Amino acid sequence: IQMTQSPSSLSASLGDSVTITCRASETVDSYLNWYQQKPGKAPKLLIYLASTLQTGVPSRFSGSGSGTEFTLTISSLQPEDYGTYYCQQSFTTPFFFGPGTKVDIK
């Protein structure tokens, strides 16, 4: 199951709403995870099962979708939200990741 993401990068202002899209080549049901990675750091789990917020993750992050199309939304962009965001399907091995979306703060 191949994963694609769009856009590959974006630049947004503080307070903006940002949406990243992830598509799977075939259905992954709701087994879709989102991770944030900052430079030089390990990835951090944000959302699992497409829409469930991981403990400790701010509520401005939300996920939606099922089947083959998913979105990650940051409702009000904060300075600490820079980094690269990856989707990952965990429906079946190989657990492919998307190519990533780099988010910059204007």
- By CB under 8 A, the residues from 36 to 75 that bind another protein are 37, 42-45, 48-49, 52, 54
Residue 85 near residue 74, CB atoms below 8 Å: no
Considering beta carbons, is residue 16 or 44 the nearer one to another protein? 44
**3-state DSSP: the chain helix, strand, coil percent, rounded to 5?**
5, 50, 45
- Please say which residue, 43 or 105, places its beta carbon nearer to another protein: 43
Interface positions with another protein (CB under 8 A): 31, 33, 35, 37, 42-45, 48-49, 52, 54, 84, 86, 88, 90-91, 93-100
